[in-house]
Amino acid sequence: MSDPHLTLEQTHALAMRILTRHRIGEAQAQAIADTVTHAERDECKSHGLFRIPGYVKAAKSGKADGHAVPLIKDLAPGVIHIDSKRGFAPLALKTAYAPLIERTRQQGIAAAGITNTHHFAALWPEVETLAGHGLVAFAFTAALSYVAPAGGTKPLYGTNPMGFAWPRQGHSPLVFDQASSASARGEIQLHLRDGKPIPEGWALGPDGAPTTDPEMALKGAQLCFGGYKGAAIALMVELLAGALIGDLFSFESTAADNGDGGPPTGGEFLLCIDPAKTNGAGSNALAHAEKLFEAIMAQPGTRLPSDRRYEARKRTPEEGITVAPVLYEELQRLAAQ
Ligand code: NDP
């Protein structure tokens, strides 16, 4: 039998039905359902419907407040603070966009610190949105302690992703968005669900030895990509999304977590630059960048980061998406409660 199939509209409606039946208000639910549907649209399965049960767990346990209204405050002419009030990150991000774009256009550069939030998603939605307004954007968020520092065997860092987007004229933005761990944790969870081994180099077991068993990997420590170089990025993300904006490090978030399996508490740091205001040579930064992209694409075997998602985005509105049967059953159960 083929896997259950949904249109993108059905995906969004299913997400809304579940979220609003489980202590999540309309505004928070709408922002989450948009994020999850966009992940399914772009075939980023580990941040699609797969995340819905986690949002529900955090709302039901009371760790997150599904009715929170984010509070925005100016800290400096180019720095804004969004207190998510224990809500989920998608609504806090929606709240941040307009003032962050406005400040960046005024000053050439601006930053936003989102604190007291529950982030469970990819970072490309935020940087792509900001780049869609002609701005260069960076995003950083920490998570729970899953990843060993370089040379260590015990979890300390989060999987700590960073996202980057560059605006393009006549094209969707160039975006990369990657965990500083060798894999996102969701990928290991998907391997466990599907009974598949994980690649070598992703994790150590609880005994500190390398493992390809996803269950042992989840009990042990994930590894950074590229050894100490990825570990330096994980460290930077901890500092930017933690100490810099006044939120928790991953190990502090782990200590505060109730273990419900939902998104942890933490912060997100956004940095935004207007390329029309940084180019002292007076040249067109975006036109110049296109030459680099052309040179990359001139080599066989290359592609630009984000092209895979944009290709998927052309297909899924017509073709719809499939959902793993075990996840579909869980979602139907949640929708019926
Ligand atoms: P991947 O390794 O799948 O991809 C990383 C980046 O590399 C993507 O931008 C991808 O673009 C690009 N890429 C992949 N292959 C190529 C290629 N051959 N040529 C050029 N570019 C390429 O991502 P990760 O597994 O590291 O992370 C997955 C997601 O998990 C991210 O979205 C991240 O934000 C999220 N995450 C979220 C966390 C949280 O706490 N909120 C924690 C950790 C991760 P493309 O998309 O086009 O394939």
- The H or E element containing residue 118 is strand 109-118
Question: In degrees, to the nearest 5, what angle opens at C-alpha 200 toward C-alphas 174 and 325?
Answer: 70
Tell me if residue 187 is catalytic: yes
The 10s digit of each residue's pLDDT in 67-91 is 999 999 999 999 999 999 999 999 9
**What CATH fold (topology level) applies to the domain 1-61+306-337?**
Hypothetical Oxidoreductase Yiak; Chain: A, domain 1 (1.10.1530)
Measure 159 CA to ligand 1 centroid, in angstroms: 12
Check pocket membership of 139 for ligand 1, CB cut-off 6 A: no
pLDDT tens track for 24-39? 999 999 999 999 999 9
Alpha-carbon distance 45 to 311, whole Å? 15
With bands split at pLDDT 50, 70 and 90, how would you rate the model's confidence at 115?
very high
Indicate if ligand 1 lies below 6 Å from the C-beta of 307. yes
Residue 46 pLDDT level (bands cut at 50, 70, 90): confident
- Residue to substitute in 147, 178, 183, 270 for testing ligand 1 pocket (most ligand atoms within 8 angstroms of CB): 178
The response to whether residue 124 sits with its C-beta less than 6 Å from ligand 1 reads: yes
**Using CA atoms, how far apart are residues 272 and 321, in angstroms rounded to an integer?**
33
The DSSP call for residue 147 is B
How many CB atoms are closer than 10 A to CB 265?
Answer: 22
Residue 55: helix, strand or coil by DSSP? helix
pLDDT on residue 190 = 84
Spot the catalytic one: 12, 22, 38, 47. 47
Q: How confident is the model at residue 53 (pLDDT cuts 50, 70, 90)?
A: very high
Helix segments in the chain, DSSP class H:
8-20, 26-41, 52-61, 89-107, 124-131, 185-193, 214-219, 228-238, 250-256, 285-297, 307-319, 325-336
165 CA → ligand 1 middle, Å: 13
* pLDDT of 142 over the 80 cut: yes
Say if residues 36 and 53 touch (Cβ distance below 8 Å).
no
Residue of minimum CA distance from atom 46 in ligand 1: 306
Asked whether the CA dihedral 230, 203, 64, 321 is positive or negative, the reply is positive
Atom of ligand 1 nearest to the CA of 309: 47
Centroid of ligand 1 to alpha carbon of 107 (angstroms): 30
3-state secondary structure of 239: helix
Cβ within 8 Å of residue 239, ≥6 positions away: none
- Examine the pLDDT at 278 and tell me if it is beyond 80: yes
Burial class (CB within 10 angstroms; exposed 0-12, middle 13-18, buried 19+) of 31: buried
Return the DSSP state at 161. -
Is residue 95 in contact with ligand 1, taking CB distance under 6 Å? no
Q: Check pLDDT > 80 for residue 103.
A: yes
> Which is catalytic among the residues 43, 46, 172, 252?
46
| Total count of residues recorded for the chain | 337
Q: What is the C-alpha separation between 66 and 21, in angstroms, rounded?
A: 11
| pTM as predicted | 0.96
**CATH class for domain 70-181+224-304?**
alpha beta
Residue 109 Cα to chain centre, angstroms: 22
Q: Rounded to whole angstroms, what are the CA distances from 232 to 65, 85, 227, 235, 253?
A: 33, 30, 9, 5, 20
The pair phi, psi for residue 256, each rounded to 5°, is -90, -10
CB-ligand 1 contact for 183 (6 Å cutoff)? yes
> Per-residue pLDDT tens for 159-218?
999 999 999 999 999 999 999 999 988 789 889 988 999 999 999 999 999 999 999 999
143 ligand 1 Cβ < 6 A: yes
Tokens standing for 184?
């996102």
- DSSP string over 310-326: HHHHHHHHHH-EE--HH
Select from 335, 265, 267 the least CA-distant residue to 64. Answer: 265
The mean predicted confidence, pLDDT, of the chain is 97
The number of the ligand 1 atom at minimal distance from the alpha carbon of 306 is 47
Domain boundaries, the chain: 1-61+306-337, 70-181+224-304
* Whole-angstrom distance, CA of residue 94 vs CA of residue 79: 16
Ligand 1 centroid, distance to 177 Cα (angstroms): 5
Residue 273 pLDDT more than 90? yes
